[in-house]
Amino acid sequence: MTLAQDPHLPTSAVAGDETTISTSGNGQAILYLVGPGVASKREISLGEDIHLPSRELQNAGRYVVSVCSDACRSGSFYVAAAEPASLTFLVHPSRVPVGLSDAISGVALPFDPFHNLVRVPMAITFQLTSGKTAMMSRSVQTQDGVAWFRTSSGKDAGVLHVVAAVDELSARRAVQQVASEPCNLRIKGQRTPKAILVETEPVRDCSGNPVPDGTIVTFTAAEADGKSTVDAPIKQGVARAQIIVTKAAVISAASGVVMGNELRLGAQP
Amino acid sequence: MRFALPILLVAVTVGLIAAALFGVGQAGGTVGIAAGSALPGLTPNAGTPEQALANLFTDLQRRNWNRAFAALSKTSGVDEPSFIQDWAGANGSLRTFSNLEGYDSRPLHATSDDAQVRVRLHWATPVGPVEDVRDFHLTHEGDGWKVVWPKVEAPTVPAQVVPVTYLRWDLISGGAEDGWGSRNVDSPHVRIISMNAVESAEGSVVMGEVVNEDTIPAFVNVNAALVDGSGNAIDDESSFDKIAHVLLPKQVSPYRIDFPNINLKNVKNVRMDVKATLVPASADPVIGVMDQKLDPDVQGKSVLHGELLNQSGQTVNIPHVIASFYDSNGKVVWVADGYVDRSLLPQTSEPFAVEIPRTLAGKVQTFHVVVNQYSLGKS
């Protein structure tokens, strides 16, 4: 049994494709294959081609082949990722206030059918659409398998659709653009037989977007010897509360850091 | 002689049982303060105001409603159902889950015909021990003393339709094909806006306020770890029920974390951690806090009191009040909470009171009250 020279290894191999190793010499030998997540051992006949099945070459990376008879000879070859089969697309954040610069970022990573990162440079197209308006379209070349973008949020609240595409593949994410802090919080009041019914005018941010329903507006009625408060959520754009006031009082409203106007009421007769 | 020992044992046993039975309402260590508990026993004659109260509480603890009602003065302004409801609660309120564990009574004044007794009632409830102070008026009728039960103003709600703009948030946990992606909805953004650590009679207390800065509701929990000079953790605790856990957008809640039996002098650092989770939530009910005032109560303690007004159309079974108190610089100097033991029916109000320590009463300049609520059958 003699091993004349090193095994002849493939110069290029693709994940999931079978490949062939040729050896020289004659007699029986042992072949060891060690790669990313793979280790196998088999008996071979020297001088014949050895077929490595696709299931042993699904992980991209460097593989080491050792052929041992009376002595061992080794070599290595590299298995590259196959064509992209899926696109992992991470977008951050999922909610963002309108009008913030560099607030939205996205990262796309192409993977082959065996979950190997495709590191060959390729162009990935990022498209951002708000309603029917295209906000951004940009083609970015991957570097070491990664492509990314960063952009500002738009001016209109609503769903921002973000798409990353490469060849026939695409991945879609949605970013909720929400109104920023309320702007010009204004309240009005109306006496009822039992209480004062106070409500805000439609609460909007400084870009005119309605502040999301559910946002708490705190109404406060300050009297000479005490106060009353109601945390009321905005519903259909307006927050309402009833406050029992029998004496002269000042009613105000606040939401977050924003204060509204004041209503001054005299004592109830 | 062979029967002497059994006879002696029986006699001693009977004597001890008798002592226990007739000892109800007589236990107590402080001069001038009577104390009672849930010990069963025969009801002695109500020869004194304290004994009349002891008899009444014994019957109430046993839920012997007929006997308890019979022990009331004829001048009482209640009928039996109202009396039972006043004591035992209704509508799934905290009182319906509570039991009287004991009481202390202190006579305020007494003549041969009437007496005034202040009673501190100790309730065992699902949210921990709750104390309630009530003044009872007693009159001498016939051969004994009777309790005058005050007229109970039970809130009644007329039949009506309350229109509600229903608002809630549901959480969709989509798969990879979903437009929102898989697990990529960010947690709500909440922030601790103030923190203060103080020494109290029971140990150390960490408190402050937390705000939901996001546009979605958040389930919030605040944790704190006390660290000594060597960097070792002394203890870590959470805010438990001293916080409004579900915060709507822009809502602020006080929080308080108690570290019993830990001296603040041994603490070099406090590590704060706020956890927020996206949860389905509802914006209702809206509960107003009316007529908030900080006054001394009958015992001279500083108490924040007011009225909770349920502005919605649903019953709030167990209202929970949490208040933060600020000094003149706007710093949170104390956080206190209290449960209201009566349910809050739609469009009605119930009084609440929250006590602050005497040592802090002088520092408090203003306060902020939030209302937490628990409703049966709802998370």
Place domain B287-374 in its CATH homologous superfamily. Answer: Immunoglobulins (2.60.40.10)
Q: Is the predicted pLDDT of residue B28 greater than 60, yes or no? A: no
* Test the B interface: residue of A98, A231, A246 with most B CBs within 10 Å: A231
Domain boundaries, given as residue ranges, for chain B? 24-148, 168-280, 287-374
Taking only the tens place, the pLDDT of each residue in A11-42 is 889 999 999 998 888 888 999 999 999 999 99
Residues of B in contact with A172 (CB under 8 A): 179
Taking only the tens place, the pLDDT of each residue in B29-58 is 344 445 555 444 556 677 788 888 899 999
SS3 category, B178 = coil
d(CA A261, CA A173): 40
C-alpha A232: how far from chain center: 33
d(CA B214, CA B251): 10
The two domains A86-178 and A182-265 share their CATH topology (first three levels equal): yes
- The phi, psi pair for A204, rounded to 5°, reads -130, 160
d(CA B104, CA B119): 6
* H or E stretch covering A52: strand A49-52
* pLDDT score at A219: 95
* pLDDT score at B175: 64
Q: Do B293 and A225 touch (CB under 8 A)?
A: yes
CATH number of A182-265: 2.60.40.380
Residues of B in contact with A173 (CB under 8 A): 179-181, 184
Query: For the whole prediction, is pTM greater than 0.80?
Result: no
* pLDDT score at B182: 46
**Topology annotation, domain B24-148:** Nuclear Transport Factor 2; Chain: A, (3.10.450)
Residues B155, B158, B163, B165, Cα dihedral to 10° = 10
Q: What is the mean pLDDT of chain B?
A: 85
Mean pLDDT of B354-377: 88
* pLDDT score at B174: 61
Q: What is the mean pLDDT of chain A?
A: 90
Q: What is the CA radius of gyration of chain B?
A: 26
* pLDDT score at B26: 41
Which of these CATH numbers, 2.40.30.20, 3.40.630.10, 2.60.40.10, 3.20.20.60, describes B168-280? 2.60.40.10
Q: Confirm or reject contact between A89 and chain B (CB < 8 A).
A: yes
Beta-strand pair A13-14/A72-80 = parallel
Q: Are A64 and A34 spatial neighbours (Cβ–Cβ below 8 Å)?
A: yes
Q: Do A215 and B250 touch (CB under 8 A)?
A: yes
Q: Do A228 and B251 touch (CB under 8 A)?
A: no
* pLDDT score at A62: 95
Q: Confirm or reject contact between B250 and chain A (CB < 8 A).
A: yes
Which is more confident, A187 or B143?
A: A187
pLDDT band at B160 (very low <50, low <70, confident <90, very high): confident
Q: Do B311 and A212 touch (CB under 8 A)?
A: no
Q: How far is B322 from chain A (nearest CA, A)?
A: 13
**Topology annotation, domain A86-178:** Immunoglobulin-like (2.60.40)
The number of CA neighbours under 13 Å toward the Cβ of B280 is 6
* Cis geometry, peptide bond prior to residue B285 (ω within 30 degrees of 0): yes
Beta-bridge partners for B209: B194, B254
* pLDDT score at B29: 37
Q: Confirm or reject contact between B257 and chain A (CB < 8 A).
A: no
SS3 category, B360 = helix
**The token pair that represents B181 in the structure block:** 């992606």
Q: Do B291 and A226 touch (CB under 8 A)?
A: yes
Cβ atoms within 10 A of the Cβ of B197, count? 17
* pLDDT score at A143: 96
**Topology annotation, domain A13-80:** Immunoglobulin-like (2.60.40)
Mean pLDDT of B351-374: 91
d(CA B252, CA B243): 10
Which is more confident, B378 or A53?
A: A53
pLDDT band at B8 (very low <50, low <70, confident <90, very high): confident
Closest CA to B210 of B370, B379, B374, B327: B370
Q: Do A229 and B288 touch (CB under 8 A)?
A: yes
Extended strands (E) in chain B: 34-37, 99-110, 114-125, 128-141, 144-148, 168-169, 190-200, 203-212, 218-227, 233-238, 246-247, 252-260, 269-278, 281-282, 287-296, 302-310, 318-326, 332-339, 349-355, 366-374
pLDDT band at B2 (very low <50, low <70, confident <90, very high): low
Q: Is the predicted pLDDT of residue A55 greater than 80, yes or no? A: yes
Closest CA to A30 of A1, A55, A9: A1
Cα distances (Å, whole numbers) of residue B354 to A20, B158, B348: 82, 30, 20
By CB neighbour count within 10 A (0-12 exposed, 13-18 middle, 19+ buried), where does B215 fall? buried
Q: Is the predicted pLDDT of residue B180 greater than 50, yes or no? A: no
d(CA B198, CA B204): 6
Taking only the tens place, the pLDDT of each residue in B91-125 is 899 999 999 999 998 888 888 889 999 999 999 99
Mean pLDDT of B54-70: 90
Beta-bridge partners for A100: none
Closest residue of B to A258, CA-based? B250
The two domains B168-280 and B287-374 share their CATH topology (first three levels equal): yes
A93, A176, A214 member nearest B167 (Cβ): A214
* Amino acid in the structure at residue B377: G
* pLDDT score at A23: 86
Domain boundaries, given as residue ranges, for chain A? 13-80, 86-178, 182-265
pLDDT band at B173 (very low <50, low <70, confident <90, very high): low
d(CA B322, CA B244): 8
Mean pLDDT of A183-206: 90
* pLDDT score at A268: 61
pLDDT band at A146 (very low <50, low <70, confident <90, very high): very high
- The phi, psi pair for B104, rounded to 5°, reads -125, 135
> Of the segments A222-226, B253-257, B280-284, which one has the largest average pLDDT value?
B253-257
Contacts of B78 (CB under 8 A, 6+ apart): B72, B86, B149, B150, B151, B152
Q: Are A64 and A89 spatial neighbours (Cβ–Cβ below 8 Å)?
A: no
Q: Is the predicted pLDDT of residue A194 greater than 90, yes or no? A: no
Taking only the tens place, the pLDDT of each residue in B200-214 is 888 999 999 999 999
How many residues comprise chain B?
A: 379
Q: Is the predicted pLDDT of residue B179 greater than 70, yes or no? A: no
* Cα angle: A82, vertex A86, A89; to 5 degrees: 130
